Amino acid sequence: MAIPALTPVPRVQRPRRATPADAVRPTRAEVNLDHLRHNLRVLRRLSGGTRLWGVLKADGYGHGAPAVARTLERSGIDGLCVALLEEAVELRNAGIHAPVLVMGGNYGHGWGELLAHELTPVIYDREQLEALAKEVHLYGFAPIGVHLKVDTGMSRLGVRHDRLGPMLDRIRDLPEVRLTGMMTHFANADDDEMEATQHQCALFERAIDEVRAAGFHPEVIHAANSAALIRLPRARYDLARPGIALFGVSPRADLIADLRPVMRVRSEVVALREVLPGEGAGYGSSWKARRISRLATVPMGYADGLPRSLSNKGRMLVRGTTAPIVGNVSMDMTMIDVTDVPGASLRDEVVVLGPQQGPLGSDCITADEIANHADTISWEILTGISRRVPRFFREP
């Protein structure tokens, strides 16, 4: 069917990610698509048959959403979730046909784009409903299915329970909109105790009962993220929304043992020098040599997603063994101490994230390890690998 001319949408050109063809520096992120497929199989096995809609917001957690989406779609994933309309349009433009749920709710004047690309919006306020219904009516589209988000304790987005009745009344008044799904979002599913998440489930189930009593029959009900998918079978409902676990990071260290990290970030030694006792390294000379030391320069810095908080406490891998970060991480470069790495040479591979095997052994730096050093979470580490680091997609 020909798509009518829709309400114009101001388009913001997204900064283009560096591509492998553009790679001049040796710094790159390698994305192992076979590990992605493996992780999907693990989650399917643990899910008890629940349908899975993979969360690919923030460019697929920094891995490259179009390639990740194609791999998951070919592996039979049931659907995909993103945060932004722009992210969903990117998937459609990449040839993705799977259902795509846009969860962030920030549609601006982009209802026409949403309709034209056959996307499913998450709705939580009256203004959204009315703007969507107007666009459907104006251009003669068939009624569009929406998922209603209920706030059960995250206090971020979603209709609160005391406003649910009026929201349902407005949906009933708008024939252009069909309530096809309900969702909520857990705030504490990875905590030691599950009491808060159980309470959110109870509130959500009250809302589901109220929606059904009002005469609505949502086709899909969903709440579970990666942690709740594994820890709380009650929360699986009709489908679950795994995110971080798809990319090989367990939401809790003790939760899923056989996931495989999908991203590996590597670079090379581009300079070597000897420094004498008392000499410093980097901005502010925050590190000073206590012995004659051999320092290597690696062309990756905080503009590439290496947290500056790793200064003087993070590490990298060279020849299969540890080389500590020394001095302050700068925008484009970082120095590591290779004094205790026999044979370290120019152009040696340096691993920033992931495994390495070398003549001196084998080791692995995980996103969790980096996050612990940087006093953050692994989600931020993965999504923080910047667009100027090209992604190389690997098959077996």
- Work out the pLDDT band at 109, boundaries 50, 70, 90: confident
> Do both 60 and 204 map to the same domain?
yes
More confident residue, 340 or 396: 340
For residue 30, give the 3-state DSSP assignment: strand
The answer to whether residue 3 scores a pLDDT higher than 70 is: no
Rounded Cα–Cα distance for residues 190 and 244 (Å): 12
Residue at a domain's end among 214, 247, 280:
247
Catalytic-role residue among 57, 107, 124, 237: 57
> Do both 83 and 222 map to the same domain?
yes
pLDDT at res. 1: 42
Mean pLDDT (the chain) is 94
> Do both 88 and 233 map to the same domain?
yes
pLDDT tens digits along 124-149? 999 999 999 999 999 999 999 999 99
pLDDT at res. 247: 98
Catalytic-role residue among 107, 283, 288, 302: 283
- Work out the pLDDT band at 379, boundaries 50, 70, 90: very high
pLDDT tens digits along 31-86? 999 999 999 999 999 999 999 999 999 999 999 999 999 999 999 999 999 999 99
- Work out the pLDDT band at 13, boundaries 50, 70, 90: very low
Q: Write the CB contacts of 297 (distance below 8 Å, at least 6 apart in sequence).
A: 269, 270, 271, 272, 273, 333, 334, 335
State mean pLDDT over 260-288. Answer: 97
Q: Which residues constitute the domain of residue 140?
A: 47-247
Rounded Cα–Cα distance for residues 86 and 110 (Å): 9
Q: Which amino acid is at 338?
A: V
User: Residue 379: which CATH number?
Assistant: 2.40.37.10
> Do both 196 and 290 map to the same domain?
no
pLDDT at res. 2: 46
> Do both 205 and 144 map to the same domain?
yes
pLDDT at res. 238: 97
pLDDT at res. 164: 97
State mean pLDDT over 342-350. Answer: 98
The answer to whether residue 339 scores a pLDDT higher than 50 is: yes
> Do both 54 and 180 map to the same domain?
yes
> Do both 144 and 275 map to the same domain?
no
The answer to whether residue 396 scores a pLDDT higher than 80 is: no
The total of structural domains in the chain comes to 2
Is residue 294 a contact partner of residue 337, using CB atoms and an 8 Å limit? yes
pLDDT at res. 257: 79
pLDDT at res. 12: 43
Q: Evaluate if pTM is beyond 0.75.
A: yes
169: in domain: yes
State mean pLDDT over 186-213. Answer: 96
Closest CA to 102 of 115, 67, 93: 115
> Do both 102 and 175 map to the same domain?
yes
Give me the residues paired with residue 239 across strands: 51, 222
Q: Is 61 a catalytic residue?
A: no
Which token pair is 325? 């970060």
Pairing of strands 321-326, 315-318: antiparallel
Q: Is 134 a catalytic residue?
A: no
Cα angle 391-94-243, degrees, rounded to a multiple of 5: 60
